[in-house]
């Protein structure tokens, strides 16, 4: 199993990769630039190339996460900034050797037209992928809203990808806390969910898992991450069913869990490796 966590680029992209190795992890996630800004970054290409080489030498898998202001359903005045920022994220992640960049599914923008959000998402994704020539993918992440909220089902994620002009440049990232919060996965329906995902070809395009427990019960729509073995509502045996699923065999599990609640990411990764490694 590939276990890892989100790491800082405070010491550069190569530094992030070396920190991952020091954690005895085999995967990591990072923000390619300031997580609170859409400003295009002129990045250190030598540092990025060194990160790519180091990851290849040490068999590390990485993904990037887009900055918080990134939205696939942007307001008209933010649309170009979002597109330019996404292309910049792809360029950085490609240079670092990352599989893809994670971006959250869009949000509801119209109270009277339920299709407006999906149409805008597809337009933005088409704009980005038409300008992107690399192999790094955009990874759509499932939302954590209450049941029925936009972006909480496999069907939506798959359909948006299928309707894009360049679907081969798009994949998925599954967040376990989001899935639990939205009721997509209630902890006891993984077998049925795995069948549905296979029927929709969702798992064929799944490149990363955000591996998080939930501080709240399933179906409440609350996105509050908990540590895997501490303070969460998802039980060990429920995680075990998910982890042992053949459809997730090659997918890296990346922690976005709290690191200030009595357990470090290093300790948590060691626990994961001891339990399921």
Q: Rounded mean pLDDT of 167-177?
A: 98
Q: Closest Cα to residue 33, out of 48, 19, 55?
A: 48
Domain that holds residue 200: 3-276
- Binned at pLDDT 50, 70 and 90, residue 262 comes out as confident
Helix, coil or strand: residue 77: helix
Give 129-163 pLDDT, tens digit per residue.
Answer: 999 999 999 999 999 999 999 999 999 999 999 99
Lowest mean per-residue pLDDT among 50-54, 144-148, 218-222: 144-148
Per-residue pLDDT for 205 more than 90? yes
* pLDDT score recorded for residue 260: 85
* CA nearest neighbour of 104 among 81, 83, 121: 121
Structure tokens at 177: 């806390």
Give CA–CA dist 193/217, Å, rounded: 18
State how far the Cα of 95 lies from the Cα of 74, in Å rounded to an integer: 27
CATH code of residue 99: 3.20.20.150
SS3 35: coil
The model's pLDDT over 230-257, given as tens digits with 9 standing for 90+, comes to 999 999 999 999 999 999 999 999 999 9
For the cut 90, the answer to whether the pLDDT of residue 35 exceeds it is yes
According to the model, what pLDDT value does residue 259 have?
86
Q: What percent of the chain has pLDDT over 70?
A: 100
How does the average pLDDT of the chain come out, rounded?
97
Q: Looking at the 3D structure of the chain, how many domains does it have?
A: 1
- Residues 111-127: what's their mean pLDDT? 97
């Amino acid at each position: 199993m590939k276990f890892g966590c989100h790491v800082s680029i405070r010491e550069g992209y190569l530094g992030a990769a070396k920190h991952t190795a020091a954690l005895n992890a085999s995967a990591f996630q990072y923000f390619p630039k300031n997580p609170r800004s859409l400003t295009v970054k002129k990045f250190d290409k030598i540092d990025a190339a060194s990160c790519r080489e180091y990851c290849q030498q040490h068999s590390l898998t990485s993904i990037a996460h887009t900055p918080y202001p990134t939205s696939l359903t942007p307001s008209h005045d933010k649309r170009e900034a979002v597109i330019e920022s996404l292309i910049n994220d792809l360029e950085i992640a490609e240079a670092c050797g990352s599989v893809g960049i994670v971006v959250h599914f869009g949000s509801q923008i119209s109270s009277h037209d339920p299709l407006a959000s999906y149409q805008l998402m597809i337009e933005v994704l088409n704009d980005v992928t038409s300008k992107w020539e690399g192999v790094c993918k955009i990874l759509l992440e499932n939302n954590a809203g209450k049941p029925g909220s936009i972006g909480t089902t496999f069907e939506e994620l798959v359909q948006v990808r299928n309707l894009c002009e360049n679907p081969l440049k798009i994949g998925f990232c599954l967040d376990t806390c989001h899935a639990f919060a939205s009721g997509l996965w209630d902890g006891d329906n993984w077998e049925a969910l795995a069948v549905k995902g296979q029927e929709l070809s969702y798992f064929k395009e799944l490149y990363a898992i955000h591996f998080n427990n939930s501080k709240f019960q399933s179906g409440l729509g609350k996105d509050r991450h908990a540590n895997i073995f501490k303070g969460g509502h998802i039980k060990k045996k429920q995680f075990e069913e998910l982890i042992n699923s053949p459809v997730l065999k090659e997918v890296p599990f990346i922690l976005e869990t709290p690191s200030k609640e009595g357990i470090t990411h290093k300790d948590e990764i060691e626990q994961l490796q001891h339990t399921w490694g």
